Structure 1
Amino acid sequence: MCIIMLVLAWKLEAPNMGFFTKEEWLKGMTLLQCDCIERLQGKLDYLRNQLNDTIIFKNIYRYAFDFARDKDQRSLDMDTAKSMLALLLGRTWPLFPVFNQFLEQSKYKVMNKDQWYNVLEFSRTVSTDLSNYDEDGAWPVLLDEFVECQKARLAAL
């Protein structure tokens, strides 16, 4: 999935990945003031720039969890979570490659909403050397384990 498609789906308030209803499409195109393909193409930079606003990005990030999960599940399967994290954080979070590798090797099969939300907060607040990570903070165990693994990896270098 292209990140612009995710932003567009967010703008359309589409609840399901893979398709837009006619109503969602018409409502969204009206809001975007697009009545033809050329106007929609002209909005691509606008949609891309939405990602630069931290509050809007947080809204899109949170939207992505429910958008990407199977509707009968409360969590994201780990392959989907990794793909969506790569799409949303892969180019901007310096620790993403090692976090993704950690997820690849972890025991976790799913990511719940609390973990999902906290990954964004972690990516925004914890420095790349993990020096400001508060072990007594209210982070999910998943992130505690990532920090422990990363610190062990760095100590071995």
Structure 2
Amino acid sequence: MPRSKRRTVADMGPDDDDRHCSKRLRNTTSSRRFSNKTEDTSSFSQKRCLAWFREYTSPDDPDMLGPEGMEKFCEDIGVEPENVVMLVLAWKMSARQMGFFTQQEWLKGLVDLQCDTISKLQSKLDYLRSLLNDQVTFKSIYRYAYDFARDKDQRSMDIETAKAMLQLLLGKHWVLFGQFNNFLEHSKYKVINKDQWCNILEFSRTILSDLSNYDVDGAWPVMLDEFVEWLKVSKVGDTLRS
């Protein structure tokens, strides 16, 4: 079949030229409208937020962001998985299990933060960290961390996980944290229950580093009574050695 002759602009009549210009104008307008739509990310879009979530899930389980996806997500936003800001973000989402975000949890947290892109969430990281400076909010995050981090098959948190979480939350703020961590390493305790967990925070906030305001007859858990005794013995030993 012979190739049809291609028409040039010179071959077109006035009507053809008008139709050509109109078509070109429509295409240009449509292209500009589409371009503006894709470039405008200033306002929050739940659809875009959900599409972002899907970048970290697998086709086999599109509604669950798991450990591999979490690693990529942390890399994309420039935060180590062990960074405390990830705990705050999980708290914002009311995430149930460490290392996992469900679609519902993701939307809950990021709709609240109005974040649907990497850059938007990065701009909120300082805000998320600042929440730890409020005592009431910190207490809520601290209590949340217990159920978030513990093995869901167990009622209590294993001691290694507890030490890691205490380091994350209290390591930089509690003067006696180093001694308490050392006490746990040499103690009989293999798990920490929720009552002990909550009282550790109260102890760190209310008891002076010299233990001068510690009430032996107070309602502290036995674990903390034992810590105080251990600390006193340690200090006596240090004094004798010096």
TM-score clears 0.5: yes
Other-structure match for 1:24: 105
After TM superposition, the structure 1 = structure 2 runs for residues 116-155 of structure 1, keeping only pairs within 5 Å, are 116-155=197-236
- TM-score, normalized by length of structure 1? 0.99
Other-structure match for 2:165: 84
What is the alpha-carbon distance in structure 2 between the residues aligned to residue 112 and residue 130 of structure 1?
24
**Letter of the 2:150 counterpart:** R
Aligned residues: 157
Task: Give, in angstroms, the shift of residue 56 of structure 1.
Answer: 0.2
What is the alpha-carbon distance in structure 1 between the residues aligned to residue 109 and residue 234 of structure 2?
46
Tell me the C-alpha RMSD between the 2 structures: 0.6
1:2 corresponds to 2:78: no
Task: Give, in angstroms, the shift of residue 27 of structure 1.
Answer: 1.8
Task: Give, in angstroms, the shift of residue 23 of structure 1.
Answer: 1.5
What is the alpha-carbon distance in structure 1 between the residues aligned to residue 105 and residue 113 of structure 2?
12
Other-structure match for 1:109: 190
Deviation per CA, 1:48-83: give whole Å up to 9, x if none: 000000000000000000000011111000000000
Other-structure match for 2:130: 49
**Letter of the 2:155 counterpart:** R
Q: Mark the runs of 5 or more structure 2 residues left unpaired by the alignment.
A: 1-81
* Structure 1 moving runs of 4+ over 6 Å: none
What is the alpha-carbon distance in structure 2 between the residues aligned to residue 7 and residue 100 of structure 1?
23
Q: Mark the runs of 5 or more structure 1 residues left unpaired by the alignment.
A: none
SS in 2 for 1:115: helix
Task: Give, in angstroms, the shift of residue 144 of structure 1.
Answer: 0.2
